[in-house]
Amino acid sequence: MDTAAVVSSKPGNPTSMVPASLRGIFPVLVALPVLLLLEWLLSDSPFATYLLSIMGVNVILAVSLNIVNGMTGQFSIGHAGFMAVGAYLSGVTSLALKDVAISFLPVAVSDQVFLLVALLVGGIAAATAGFLVGLPSLRLRGDYLAIVTLGFGEIIRVAVTNTEAFGRALGLSGIPQTSSVAMVGFWVFLVVLVARRIAGSSHGRSLWAIREDEVAAEAMGVNTTGYKVRAFVISSFFAGVAGALFAHFVPIINPGSFTFVKSMEIVVMVVLGGLGSTTGAIVAAVFLTLLPEGLRSLFTTFGTGGSLAQQVDQIRMPVYGLMLVVLMLSRPQGLLGTRELWEVIPRWIPRRRKGM
């Protein structure tokens, strides 16, 4: 990760343009103090902590799905399934490790170490599931692959609902609430870094090639199957981590949190931001998380009655549906397309590194 990749900025290849700011260790030096400061500032505001956490989880989900849907062009609509795998397995791990502590470390640090272990367990389990789902992409493409991912998500949900160890339909409760904003932020940072690095690498160019024309990419010598499976594995790893983080700050996880609807929410984020744009996915995820919350608190403060505030949740889904339709009709490439945020900011804002 610290090997500063020599990224070509050849003309006519704008997708490989990684800003200088993301290279090397510099972002870590900036991000870490900011995260810790945030953690300290928010320590006595549970609502803000919750909001930031759920926002971070959604960002991780959207950015990771974007690697498969946006960069590789393999339309996957079962992302919530991977999230469920991560959430449940990390939850079970945490429950098993509940009473264990590393004695020579302070309690908080020890908690974070075990949380990290649980996150990795969840992530790796989801990555394994992603490998299994990626394999059918050997033979299936397009719509068929989409329906297989959907079926996979549903199978996971039914399997979880029927497993005694996962609490059946009631779900898993009593998972230690050890997740912190700093931890979520760390993974957001990591997934963005990985996504941007992939986008700018030769690996990424293979993914873009598959996205544009799979048959042509194959003819040019790209190992399409290998790249597709790898994209699935990376993407599902992060989805698993997101699920694991989610499991560690909500009081209870149940199969109802990981339905087809959740998958579609993530798809909407990716499509709205622009298929292939990492920053677009981030912006869309933040926006779509804040919008319902904002509307709800707006209705509550103006005292238009609790019923309207409750209806925000109801209205959300049809609005998402209409948004997809309108977006596809007016801007099929999403708000940003495959461009990144800094490529669309107006020219008069000074930039450190000129675009082409």
Partner 1 sequence: MAQLLQHLINGIAAGTIYALVALGYTMVYGVLKLINFAHGDVMMVGVYMGYSTAFLLGRQTQSTPWGVLVIFLVAMAGCALMGFLIERFAYRPLRDKPRLTALITAIGISFALSYGFQLDIGFLPGSAPRAFPQIIKPAQWFTVGDPEFPDVVLWNWQVISLMLAVGLMVGLQYLVYRTRFGRAMRAVSFDHRVAALMGIPTDRVISLTFMIGSALAAGAGLLYAIKDTSVSPLMGLYVGLKAFVAAVIGGIGNVPGAMVGGLLLGLVEEFVVGYAASTWRDAVAFGFLILVLLVRPGGLFGRVAAEKV
Site for partner 1, rule CB under 8 A: 73, 75, 77, 136, 139-140, 142-144, 146-148, 150-152, 154-155, 158-159, 161-162, 213-216, 219, 260, 264, 267, 271, 311, 314-315, 317-318, 320-325, 328-329, 332
Alpha helices by DSSP H, listed for 201-259, are 202-212, 214-219, 224-247
CB 243 within 8 A of CB 90: yes
Query: Which CB, 186 or 299, lies closer to partner 1?
Result: 299
Query: Which CB, 252 or 324, lies closer to partner 1?
Result: 324
Neighbouring residues of 227: CB distance < 8 A, sequence distance ≥ 6: 72, 203, 206, 207, 210
Query: Which CB, 139 or 353, lies closer to partner 1?
Result: 139
| Closest separation in Å from C-beta 53 to partner 1 | 26
Alpha helices by DSSP H, listed for 67-201, are 79-96, 107-134, 143-161, 181-200
Q: Which helix (H) or strand (E) holds 348?
A: none
Query: Which CB, 136 or 176, lies closer to partner 1?
Result: 136
| Closest separation in Å from C-beta 304 to partner 1 | 14
Evaluate the CA torsion angle 253, 49, 86, 115 in order and state its sign: negative
Query: Which CB, 110 or 333, lies closer to partner 1?
Result: 333
| Closest separation in Å from C-beta 325 to partner 1 | 4
| Closest separation in Å from C-beta 356 to partner 1 | 26
| Closest separation in Å from C-beta 224 to partner 1 | 12
Radius of gyration (Cα) for the chain, nearest Å? 20
Q: Which helix (H) or strand (E) holds 57?
A: helix 46-66
